[in-house]
Chain A
Amino acid sequence: MIMQCVFAFLAVSAFCVLFEVPKKLIPVGGLMGGLCWGIYLLCMKYDISLYGANFIAAASIALIAEILARILKQPSPMFFVPGVLPIVPGYSLYYGVYNFAVGEHALSREYFIKAVMISMLIALSIFAVNAVFRVNWHAKPHERR
């Protein structure tokens, strides 16, 4: 499992180069990716459902990304986009196509639905975390929106 996280770190660091993340922040982005995969694997190990695991991993990454963005004074996608990469549904998408190609249409549909669900869960986790961070705590009640 630790090896998997190391490779996720490596992969995400490499993707950071493709996303043109500044040099100093590449290790941070890589760590976010490794952490995301680690949380996902931990959740799977403790028998949390596939969707639960994806949500927890994405939500923790979103939370850490928002905090890091405030500490390091960078826009939060800088950390969030690389961090969430390992759980973006490439796996389900591929097996959807694969099963379609070999004629297993029922199975293929199941994988495609999985891919859509996971994408929606990633979006949902951002909703949940950002909603907390977007509250303007210093505003007077009537100024809040």
Chain B
Amino acid sequence: MDYRLLMDTSILAGEIIMENGGEAYRAEETVNRMLNTSNAKHVEVVVMGTSMVATVSNPYRDAITATRRIRRRGTNLQRIAQVNDISREMCDGKLSLEEAFHQLKQLREKTQYPEWIRIIASMIGVMGFTYTFGGRGLDLLFAMLCGAAVYAVQYINRYTGLSGIINVAMASFAVSVVAVLLYHLFPEQMNPDTVIIGGLMLLVPGLAITNSARDLLAGDYVSGTARVMEAVVTSLAIVLGTGLALILRNLF
């Protein structure tokens, strides 16, 4: 068995899970399961929120270790499901190692939906939440504009390479500014609060909250607290962006 390729494949699987919003214990379990197909004497995988280390060793053989730092952080549930499937199939022997590596490589580049569908989705998403939080009439239309604004900021920041936190702060600032400006134009027909809340739902750290709970429950305190901090810092970024816009509104 090609140990080196097995190591590359398994750590890639773990990396994809961590990059796309999977829980640390899921990544750990997956990498462990894949490495154990080698029947090595000693397999150890450690995932710590923002980094991961895996080692395979056998007596009378050099140990192989791979380390990865997780830099990108997004939410892509489909990739997590796919990695799960691929690793299962590989462990059951239905998929060769080379094939699994190839599929994982491809998976990492693939997104399911084209850009324009995502823009429309963020507009509809914000509109729907604006309605559930009490927005009516024109609010819904303006909410769609806010959704587009969030998407525009996130799109621009893909090229500027700013960190996730600043991205969130800028996006929440954009939502609030757009809503406040529209409120100045149409003061009677609009409730800016509901529109802003709808827009913020795009940025609120729901995934970090759920993942931190699941990691803590699995006994992974390092990853769990890392996720808790992610949720806290993201919320602070939202507070910063929105607060700045609202304070500016009160000044003028």
Residues of chain B having any CB pair with chain A under 8 Å: 21-23, 26, 75-81, 84, 111-113, 117-118, 120-129, 131-133, 193, 196-197, 200-202, 204-207, 209-214, 216-217, 231, 235, 238-239, 242-243, 246-247, 249-250
Contacts and interface: CB of A to CB of B under 8 A. Distances in A.
Nearest to A40: B132
Interface in A46-100: 74-75, 77-78, 80-81, 84-86, 88-91, 93-98, 100
A126 B217 CA distance: 9
B175 to A, nearest CB: 10
**A22, A101, A122, A134, most chain B CB atoms within 10 A:** A101
Those 4 A-B pairs whose CB atoms lie nearest each other, nearest first: A11-B128, A123-B213, A14-B125, A101-B246
Interface string A1-18: 001100111111111011
A97 B172 CA distance: 12
A93 B84 CA distance: 35
A7 B214 contact: no
B217 A88 contact: no
6 contacts: A4-B132, A77-B22, A78-B77, A78-B80, A93-B200, A95-B193
B242 A97 contact: yes
Given A18-B118, A84-B210, A93-B238, A74 B113 contact: no
Binding site secondary structure of chain B: helix
B133 A10 contact: no
Helix, strand, loop or mixed for chain A's interface? Answer: helix
B197 A94 contact: yes
Most buried by B among A12, A102, A126, A131: A126
A15 B207 CA distance: 12
Contacts of A37: 132
A96 B236 CA distance: 11
A136 interface: no
Contacts of B80: 75, 77-78
Contact of B117 (A17, A84, A86): A17
- Which of A74, A94, A122, A127 gathers most chain B CB within 10 Å? A94
A98 B193 contact: yes
